[in-house]
């Protein structure tokens, strides 16, 4: 919240400050910024003007982060702190940027600084808990979350998060872990000491193969948890038939396997698929494309089910069924991505993902890369399905 002076003043700097507050309240942030900048030029040490200008930068940062413009958000939060080092919100924002980029250590540091300034706010503890959980310290994460719940007992979303993590810990309490340069695997290995090494070998092949296709690699190690089917359901609340999923919140891959048999071909394509989701998130810096692109590209990169999905999409189209891509991310999403890759190549996909990573909205990035709006592409794609060629 921006702060007005105690009373209107004839002094130019304070009048500009009042104008900045009014403009910001009306959503005219750029004009408000110009007013605060001029006010600060006239009175560079004024704490009220500096605090208002700082909060305006934070508001801009929040908007940019919500829109996927991570770099601009980070600069806005830093500018806010340069103006007022005692502001909590930009520290929380910097932590959120770091979490979006899968850098939980940097996030935890920002959140700790925010807590030091405002130890009675539950928000800092809740977010610090998430950063610690992503670092692999579940016990410390739960402690911070409990502090947050003590301060805000009505936070039902956090209470649900705590319950989910506690379930996972109960299930995987006796699991083994093994690490490589790019992955950490957690698995129920029993007496087989070689299982973790073999699972890591599959993931490392995915790292090379999919990294080559997308021309990118994640900046941090990706944690992958392998559950028996019953454990998977108990730990995640997801049906074992799902097979596995990549969690956008914490960046971990969770997989249901009937037996830890790394020679099973199904395990290989499942891991390739979920790792593709992790890499898409990394390339786009969390400014993720629509689900049909996410799933369609992951299916292309797994190299297993695309042909079957295409045949099904053609059958449906000939029966008069061609749903919007967003409502059919697997069958039609994968077929649409194959169509785009056949005609424009993977270089266009890489460019699309990079543009998203730079903060462009998906419709604008898609049109810039493929020279047509998304709606026009969907019409062209439906006609292609009906023709079946």
Of the residues 171, 187, 210, the one at which a domain ends = 171
List, as own/partner pairs, every contact residues 232-238 make where C-beta atoms lie below 8 angstroms and the sequence separation is at least 24, other chains included.
232/256, 234/167, 234/170, 234/171, 235/167, 235/168, 235/170, 235/171, 235/172, 236/164, 236/167, 236/168, 237/164, 237/167
Average pLDDT of every residue of the chain: 93
Hey, what are 114's tokens? 């925010």
> In this structure, is residue 157 part of a structural domain?
yes
Question: Are 295 and 269 part of one and the same domain?
Answer: no
Question: 147 and 34 in one domain?
Answer: yes
pLDDT at 263: 76
- Residue 229 is predicted with a pLDDT of 80
Determine, yes or no, domain membership for 187: yes
How high is the pLDDT of residue 239? 87
Count of domains for the chain = 3
Residue 235 lies in a domain: yes
Claim to verify: residue 193 and residue 243 sit in the same structural domain: yes
* Same domain for 326 and 225: no
Domain boundary at 233, 251, 280, which?
Answer: 280
| 377: confidence class by pLDDT, cuts 50, 70, 90 | very high
CATH code, 270: 1.10.390.10
How large is the average pLDDT for residues 216-242?
90
Among 280, 300, 324, the domain-final residue is 280
The verdict on residue 67 lying in a domain is yes
Enumerate the β-bridge partners of residue 223.
Answer: 184
Domain shared by 369 and 270, yes or no = no
Structural domain contains residue 5:
no
**Shared domain check, 183 and 69:** no
Instruction: Quote the percentage of the chain above a pLDDT of 70.
Output: 95
Q: Whose CA is closest to 381, among 344, 332, 331?
A: 332
What is the per-residue pLDDT for 9? 45
DSSP state of 11: S
At 289-298, the pLDDT tens digits run: 999 999 999 9
Q: Same structural domain for residues 71 and 167? A: yes
Answer whether residue 284 shows pLDDT above 90: yes
- Do 263 and 313 sit in the same domain of this protein? no
- Residues 185, 253: Cα–Cα separation, whole Å: 9
Residues 159 and 188 occupy one common structural domain:
no
Q: 244 in a domain, yes or no? A: yes
Range of the domain at 231: 176-280
Say if residue 37 is in the same domain as residue 154: yes
pLDDT of residue 7: 44
Regarding whether 341 and 274 lie in a shared domain, the answer is no
- At 292 the pLDDT is 98
**66 assigned to some structural domain:** yes
Predicted confidence at residue 206, as pLDDT, reads 97
The answer to whether residues 105 and 147 belong to one domain is yes
147 lies in some domain: yes
336-358 confidence digits (pLDDT tens)? 999 999 999 999 999 999 999 99
pLDDT at 320: 87
């Amino acid at each position: 919240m921006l702060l007005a002076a105690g009373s209107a003043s004839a002094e130019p700097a304070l009048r500009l400050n009042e104008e900045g507050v009014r403009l910001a309240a009306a959503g005219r942030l750029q004009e408000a910024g110009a007013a605060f900048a001029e006010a600060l030029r006239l009175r560079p040490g004024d704490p009220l003007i500096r605090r208002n200008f700082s909060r305006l930068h934070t508001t801009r940062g929040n908007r940019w982060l919500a829109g996927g413009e991570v770099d601009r958000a980070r600069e806005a939060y830093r500018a806010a702190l340069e103006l007022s080092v005692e502001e909590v919100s930009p520290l929380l924002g910097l932590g959120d940027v770091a979490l979006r980029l899968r850098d939980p250590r940097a996030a935890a540091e920002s959140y700790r600084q925010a807590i030091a300034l405002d130890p009675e706010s539950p928000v800092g503890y809740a977010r610090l808990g998430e950063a610690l959980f992503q670092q692999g310290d579940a016990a410390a994460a739960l402690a911070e979350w409990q502090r947050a719940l003590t301060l805000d007992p009505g936070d039902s979303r956090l209470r649900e998060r705590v319950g989910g993590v506690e379930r996972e810990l109960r299930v995987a309490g006796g699991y083994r872990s093994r690490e490589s340069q790019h992955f950490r695997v957690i698995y129920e290995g029993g007496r087989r000491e070689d299982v973790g090494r073999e699972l890591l070998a599959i993931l490392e092949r995915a790292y090379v193969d999919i990294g080559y296709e997308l021309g990118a690699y994640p900046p941090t190690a990706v944690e992958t948890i392998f559950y028996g089917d019953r454990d998977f359901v108990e730990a995640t609340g997801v049906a074992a038939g799902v097979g596995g999923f990549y969690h956008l919140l914490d960046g971990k891959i969770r997989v249901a396997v009937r037996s830890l048999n790394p020679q099973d071909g199904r395990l290989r394509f499942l891991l390739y698929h979920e790792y593709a989701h992790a890499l898409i998130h990394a390339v786009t810096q969390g400014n993720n494309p629509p689900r049909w692109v996410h799933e369609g590209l992951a299916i292309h990169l797994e190299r297993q089910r695309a042909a079957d999905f295409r045949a099904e999409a053609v059958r449906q189209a000939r029966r008069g069924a061609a749903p919007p891509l967003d409502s059919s991310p697997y069958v039609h999403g994968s077929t649409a991505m194959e169509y785009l890759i056949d005609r424009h190549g993977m270089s266009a996909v890489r460019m699309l993902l990079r543009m998203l990573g730079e903060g462009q909205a998906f419709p604008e990035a898609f049109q810039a890369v493929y020279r047509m709006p998304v709606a026009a592409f969907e019409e062209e794609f439906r006609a292609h399905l009906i023709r079946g060629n």
